[in-house]
Amino acid sequence: MKNMFKLLALLVAAFGILGTSVHAQEMKFFRIGTGGAGGTYFPIGGLIANAISSPPGARSCEKGGTCGVPGLVAIAVSTNASVFNMNAVQAGNLEAGLAGAQSVTQGYEGTGKFKGNKKDKVRIIANLYPEDMHLVLPKGKKIGSLKELSGKRVGVASAGSGTQVSVKMILKHYGIKVKEQELGLKQSAQRLADGQLDAFFYAGGTPFAALIQLGSTKGFELYNFSAAEQKEINKIIPYYVESKIPAGTYETIKYDVSTVAVNGQLVTSIDQPADLIYGITKALWSKKTRGLLDKGHSKGKAIRLETALKGVLIPVHPGAAKFYKEKGMK
């Protein structure tokens, strides 16, 4: 967070020397909580921040500049992901955040990890893309079922992440006791490579940069969830549905991987002005942003206007709702 404030100070100084045109336009910072640098939330959050920004003095959309909100400077902030972002948006410490549908819904309702601690200010801007659960194993290692993890050293993702919440629910349901290690994706990959972990879980949009790097060095395997496990997990966690990581998603994984996935969503607070969120939503779904998403990250292609409200179980922010209504969407 300290680095973020340093960045804000540098931006203020930079924009301060642009001249009188800057002063004619109000500047507003908009922090988007993402995830770890080795995952998907951070690069996707960066693309979104770029798309919705239009700093004071920048060229307009019509003149070849960004199609963002005039005067807005959006910044992607690396965090511990879903649960952290929900808490921060509720508290006003972040203006927006990326979070899995499970954390979003449970947070708003005050259930699960958020029992007795509702995040009732949180609202949806858009549903984004499916986040696939990865159970990563050392190169050449295969297991026949989740129960074979018993007694092993297993990374259960970072504290404050939606992945960890889900993983702990799954392990508890199956009665699997492991030597849990709370680690981010990059740390998990490093420890697996060093032989300090037997396996680790992580959910997010494919492909993970940290796994691409792991594949090019030590290599790894991905666990194939059985059809029975997929159905059972769906019963435990309704937000997780059957999914598949196609062969070739990671260069060294030549086989299809059956897994489960939950949708990642972009959220904000009801305290954010409706006109601002309307502008952000409009910028998110502009033709210019379409190009940024398609070229910027493989998962960006899955972020589509037609699925912007798919799986949304909490209220949409009034500003975003206005945009979707104009598009004939409910």
User: Which SS3 state, helix, strand or coil, does residue 10 take?
Assistant: helix
| Closest C-alpha among 251, 176, 182 to residue 220 | 251
Is the pTM here over 0.75, yes or no?
A: yes
Instruction: Return all residues near 62 (Cβ < 8 A) that are at least 6 apart.
Output: none
Average pLDDT, the chain: 92
d(CA 104, CA 177): 27
| Closest C-alpha among 246, 138, 249 to residue 197 | 138
Burial class (CB in 10 A: 0-12, 13-18, 19+), 261: buried
pLDDT in tens, 219-230: 999 999 999 999
pLDDT in tens, 85-114: 999 999 999 999 999 999 999 999 999 889
CA angle 100, 124, 275 (to 5 degrees): 150
d(CA 287, CA 127): 18
To which residue do tokens 């203006």 refer? Answer: 95
pLDDT of residue 26: 85
d(CA 191, CA 73): 37
Q: Quick one: DSSP state of residue 118? A: -
Backbone phi, then psi, for 4, in 5-degree steps?
-60, -45
CB 81 within 8 A of CB 96: no
Q: Quick one: DSSP state of residue 7? A: H
pLDDT of residue 160: 79
d(CA 96, CA 93): 9
Domain architecture of the chain: domains with CATH: 2-128+264-326 (3.40.190.10), 132-262 (3.40.190.10)
| Closest C-alpha among 322, 324, 330, 278 to residue 305 | 324
| Closest C-alpha among 108, 183, 197 to residue 149 | 197
pLDDT of residue 2: 46
For residue 173, the tally of other CB atoms under 10 A from its CB is: 14
Instruction: Return all residues near 197 (Cβ < 8 A) that are at least 6 apart.
Output: 153, 154, 155, 181, 183, 188, 191
pLDDT of residue 330: 72
Low-confidence ranges of the chain (pLDDT < 50): 2, 5, 9-10, 12-23
To which residue do tokens 């594949």 refer? Answer: 215
User: Which SS3 state, helix, strand or coil, does residue 67 take?
Assistant: coil
Torsion of CA 111, 116, 120, 123, to 10 degrees: -30
pLDDT of residue 63: 87
CB 244 within 8 A of CB 256: yes
d(CA 227, CA 140): 22
Which run of H or of E encompasses 82?
helix 82-91
